Amino acid sequence: MTQSSGQFKGRSETPAVPDAEHDLPRVRPATLVDLDALLALEQASFHGDRISRRQFRYLLTRGHAQTLVALDPSGSGLLGYVMLLFSRGTSLARLYSIAVSGAARGRGIGRLLVQAAEAEAARNGCADLRLEVRRDNAASLALFRVMGYREFGMIEDYYEDHMGALRLQKSLAPGPDPDLVRAPFYAQTLDFTCGPAALMMAMRAVDPDLRLDRRLELRVWREATTIFMTSGHGGCGPYGLALAAARRGYEVELLVRDKGVAFFDSVRSEDKKRVMQLVQEDMVEELEQLRVPIVHGPVNVAALEARFNAGRMPVVLISSVRIYAERFPHWVTVTGFDERFIYVHDPLVDVEEGERAVDSVNMPILRRDFERMARYGRAGLQAAVIVGSCETRESGGHV
């Protein structure tokens, strides 16, 4: 029973330092005791797109949400509220609504509530906070921009009066250690070249002289493709990517959970299955000739972190369903670790959704979420290609 569109509705003041004569109010989680006060504040603050009593009750009791209220130190009521929605299965939170009473404007209450929302989202394991703001709400836009939010898209005809909304986002994760981030970013240029793009970033991390361009992207795809996979063009499997790196003289280790044919259950045709099996058998033979170790067993965070700390770059297969809500195999490049997050370069930049390259750089993913997403298909395929130093440079490896 949440509203059909999770808009930012606040009439927040422009950034301001609270007056010295005013003490900052206490902020606490809202309860059903606050229902009447919340509804009165909502009615006084907005002419349209209001949250109803029924919606407030749902969000306070059963919704995957958290509402925080700023209390008037005099005990006369609420100075404002902020509402967060949490996305199940992802580390994304949404600032759904915020309101500040007219009497409290100009005292920094809006900023205080946003800071409290950020802290609450971080406590819930969220790495990013998003919201929508009316395109004509200059005061609120100024507040969020000065607090580190950036625009990443716009939605036309978003509100009841047909006004458009700007989409804003802020990362709540501290980011990987800059001294450890070695991988530059390269965006895949085709729907089926995430594997080559991710591998190229890893190779460049250990080989600063490597030139990243579309010619290399396509060359690696031709070498690493499974020929058949799901629908459309064949993607790249772990054996092919490992072989493409090994042929270029990089130190390579392949981690794969079992010995079955990668993505075997993604096609139905028996003839296609036979082709995929033959391709993988041929790749395995060449990997053995090149003395590339193939380690069979679980691909977990501990194994990846140990190899990263040893100076090598993991390229990891994930299921995209937790990021893009679509089930397809996807490759990412690991760029760092901290106590809570794994950071990755995601080669997919969804320009049609308003994404920019910066949205895919050092993406924070909770460790527990990464463990769940680092598997694909009914068989639970787990795979990672570990790229180390470049010992030799064969012709064709650099373009």
324-362 pLDDT per residue, tens:
667 789 999 999 998 888 999 999 987 766 567 877 888
CA distance 9 to 41: 12
Q: Average pLDDT for residues 68-91, to the nearest whole number?
A: 85
Strands 341-345 and 329-337: antiparallel
Are the C-beta atoms of 327 and 319 separated by less than 8 Å?
yes
Last residue of some domain: 135, 156, 171? 171
pLDDT of 218 > 80? The answer is yes
pLDDT (0 to 100) of residue 152? 78
Q: What is the pLDDT of residues 358-380, one digit of tens each?
A: 778 888 888 988 988 999 988 88
pLDDT (0 to 100) of residue 90? 65
- Answer yes or no: do 126 and 58 share one domain: yes
pLDDT (0 to 100) of residue 354? 59
Top pLDDT among 201 and 50 is at: 201
pLDDT of 272 > 70? The answer is yes
Supply the CATH number for residue 332's domain.
Answer: 3.90.70.10
**Please, what is the angle between helix 238-247 and helix 194-206, to 10°?**
40
Report the chain's mean pLDDT, rounded to a whole number. Answer: 86
Containing domain of residue 79, as a range?
27-171
Residue type, 149: Y
Please count the other Cβ atoms lying within 10 Å of the Cβ belonging to residue 32.
Answer: 11
Supply the CATH number for residue 126's domain.
Answer: 3.40.630.30
- Answer yes or no: do 209 and 162 share one domain: no
Residue type, 48: G
Locate the DSSP E strands across the chain.
27-29, 65-71, 78-86, 92-100, 128-134, 150-155, 165-171, 250-256, 294-296, 313-319, 329-337, 341-345, 363-366, 383-390
Q: What is the pLDDT of residues 48-64, one digit of tens each?
A: 778 999 999 999 998 78
pLDDT of 7 > 90? The answer is no
Residue 154 banded pLDDT, cuts 50, 70, 90: confident
pLDDT (0 to 100) of residue 353? 61
Top pLDDT among 197 and 105 is at: 197
Please compute, for residue 183, the number of CA atoms within 13 A of its CA located in the half-sphere on the CB side: 33
- Answer yes or no: do 148 and 243 share one domain: no
**Residue whose structure tokens are 């995430």:** 194
In a domain, 3, yes or no: no
DSSP secondary structure code for residue 381 in this structure:
B
In a domain, 105, yes or no: yes
Residue 88 banded pLDDT, cuts 50, 70, 90: low
- Answer yes or no: do 31 and 101 share one domain: yes
- Answer yes or no: do 157 and 276 share one domain: no
CA distance 192 to 227: 11
CA distances from 311 to 21, 180, 370 (A): 54, 9, 21
What is the reported pTM?
Answer: 0.72
- Answer yes or no: do 150 and 276 share one domain: no
Q: What is the pLDDT of residues 128-137, one digit of tens each?
A: 898 999 899 8
In a domain, 21, yes or no: no
CA distances from 310 to 180, 202, 307, 322, 397 (A): 11, 14, 5, 29, 24
Q: Average pLDDT for residues 269-280, to the nearest whole number?
A: 92
In a domain, 6, yes or no: no
pLDDT (0 to 100) of residue 23? 66
Cα dihedral value 241, 247, 252, 257, nearest 10: 40
pLDDT (0 to 100) of residue 325? 63
pLDDT (0 to 100) of residue 174? 79
Strands 294-296 and 250-256: parallel
Task: State how many domains the chain has.
Answer: 2
- Answer yes or no: do 279 and 370 share one domain: yes
- Answer yes or no: do 223 and 330 share one domain: yes
- Answer yes or no: do 219 and 363 share one domain: yes
DSSP secondary structure code for residue 201 in this structure:
H
CA distance 17 to 176: 31
Top pLDDT among 33 and 228 is at: 33
pLDDT (0 to 100) of residue 267? 81
In a domain, 97, yes or no: yes
CA distance 256 to 181: 25
- Answer yes or no: do 262 and 350 share one domain: yes
- Answer yes or no: do 371 and 269 share one domain: yes
CA distance 216 to 390: 16
Give percent above pLDDT 70 in the chain: 88
| DSSP of 137-188 | -HHHHHHHHHTT-EEEEEESS-STT---EEEEEEE-S----TTT--PPP---
pLDDT of 245 > 90? The answer is yes
Continuous H helices in 46-124: 53-61, 109-123
In a domain, 5, yes or no: no
Least confident residue range of 49-53, 88-92, 198-202:
88-92
Residue 391 banded pLDDT, cuts 50, 70, 90: low
In a domain, 10, yes or no: no
CA distance 186 to 195: 11
pLDDT of 74 > 90? The answer is no
In a domain, 233, yes or no: yes
- Answer yes or no: do 207 and 277 share one domain: yes
Give percent above pLDDT 90 in the chain: 54
